[in-house]
Structure 1
Amino acid sequence: MSNAHATPGQVLRPTSFAHVFLRTNRFQEMVTWYKTVLGAEARFETDRIAFLCFDEEHHRVAICAMPGTGNKIKTSAGLEHMAFGFDTLDDLALAYRQRKDLGIHPSWCVNHGITTSIYYTDPDGNQIETQVDTFEDNDEATAYMLSAEFKANPVGTEFDPEDLVHRLKSGESHASIKKRSGPPAKAPVV
């Protein structure tokens, strides 16, 4: 769909978000981690650059061993996390269990109100979010973000991923599980 009808003074918007590029000094560890965590495959890979994908795009995550790259400074400005979506809570829970079976554990689990999210930290200290949308369409999500409930707590409430699995297995409705409850969460320091 073309968006060539930008209003005067507005830059033409892109049609999609294509990929993220990560520089690293732990190349093989990072490539292996992203292949495992995302179930990704390399569309192209050498001993210093990899283009990984898990869908129809030619690559979603590029990883490069760039000379002179130091360790990540956790308190510096920059990208906080990248998010990857799942269609259902069942899929999110299955991916969590599969990662757990491989020894990959979440760094934070939070119901943001607009998403139910499980975060992981890669070998360089970057975070990824795996999520399921709460609402069926973006208008509902936007309305929720404008609500007093969201304004009072835009971060969300933490949850135990094992509790998520248990609630799904017990047959509780997805709508009930997606409704956040509990005290406000604080973003973890990684």
Structure 2
Amino acid sequence: MTNQNQVALQTVPVPAKLAHVVLRTSQMLIMRAWYTSVLSAKTIYADDGLAFLTYDEEHHRIALLNMPNLKPQETGAAGVHHIAFTYGTLGDLVTTYERLRDGDIKPVYCTNHGPTTSLYYRDPDANQIELQIDNYDTIEEAAQFFYSPDFKANPIGVDFDPEDLVKRFRSGEDEAVIKRRPMIGERDLTSLPLQ
């Protein structure tokens, strides 16, 4: 690549943010209630065919399109694996887990990836939603983890029991220790759930 091409690549505009996700559903009311509960979102607009939900200053983060008679998702089909939402503190993630658990919404699996500690949920249409906390204070520290021998041996992470996470956090254990990923050896992409 020439220096001229490098300069051109550096001046190409990039998105300022990821604005929203739109989901098709045949279960509009159920899906709207689920996302309102899970994300503590408010409905900005809703009618029989469309709903806009947000949890922050954005006009909508999740949009739902009501499309009757959709087929259920097929396991193992190509498509989006999950959508992730980051919480500001470990306490916020733990409190959210407890609130959802007490409302009978439970994660399908929980993994400390290294850069994040993540709880994965499945919505009523079988879309996976990740609720996570960053484990490092800076993006640079998290990026360094991707070049570690531990990541090379195990790019997926270490599964954990969310009740153990709650117990450790509520007991006052140092958050840096809680968020540190244990070394368990090799694990590859074949261990990821398909949906």
Cα distance in 2 for residues equivalent to 1:182 and 1:93: 23
User: For residue 156 of structure 1, what is the amino acid of its counterpart?
Assistant: G
Deviation at 1:66, TM superposition (A): 2.4
SS in 2 for 1:128: strand
Q: Which residue of 1 aligns with 2:91?
A: 90
Which residue does 2:192 correspond to in 1? Answer: 187
Partner of 2:3: none
**CA displacement 1:41-68 (0-9 Å, x = unmatched):** 1101011210000011000000111255
Cα distance between partner residues in 2 of 1:93 and 1:9: 41
- Residue 79 of structure 2 corresponds to which residue in structure 1? 78
Partner of 1:8, secondary structure, is helix
Indicate if the aligned counterparts of 1:74 and 1:125 stay in contact, CA closer than 8 A. no
Which consecutive unaligned segments of at least 5 residues does structure 2 have?
1-5
Identity level (%) = 45
CA contact (8 A) 1:109 1:158 kept: yes
Q: Hey, which bits of structure 1, 4+ residues long, moved more than 6 A? A: none
1:8 aligns with 2:8: yes
Compute the TM-score of the two structures, normalised by the length of structure 2. Answer: 0.89
Write the distance in 1 (CA, Å) between the matches of 2:151 and 2:173. Answer: 24
Instruction: Give the structure 1 partner of residue 117 of structure 2.
Output: 116
Distance across 2 between alignment mates of 1:120 and 1:135 = 23
- 1:157 and 2:158 equivalent? yes
Alpha-carbon contact 1:25-1:71 (below 8 Å) kept: no
Q: Say if 1:49 and 1:64, in contact at 8 Å, map to a contact too.
A: yes
Contact 1:158 1:182 (C-alpha < 8 Å) held by counterparts: no
Mean CA deviation greater in 65-74 or 33-42 = 65-74
Asked if structure 1 preserves the Cα contact closer than 8 Å seen for 2:81 and 2:194, the reply is: no
| Aligned 8 A contact 2:150 2:183 in 1 | no
How far apart in 2 are the matches of 1:9 and 1:181? 39
Residues 29-108 of structure 1 mapped to structure 2, 5 A cutoff: 29-67=30-68, 69-108=70-109
Is the 2:82–2:127 Cα contact (8 Å) retained in structure 1? yes
Could you report, residue by residue, the CA deviation over 1:106-146 in whole angstroms, capped at 9, with x for unpaired residues?
A: 10100000000001000010000000001111111111111
Match of residue 27 from structure 1:
28
What TM-score, normalized by structure 1, do the two folds share? 0.92
Equivalents in 1 of 2:46, 2:38: separation in Å? Answer: 17
Aligned to 2:72, the other structure's residue is in SS state coil
C-alpha root-mean-square deviation of aligned residues, in Å? 1.7
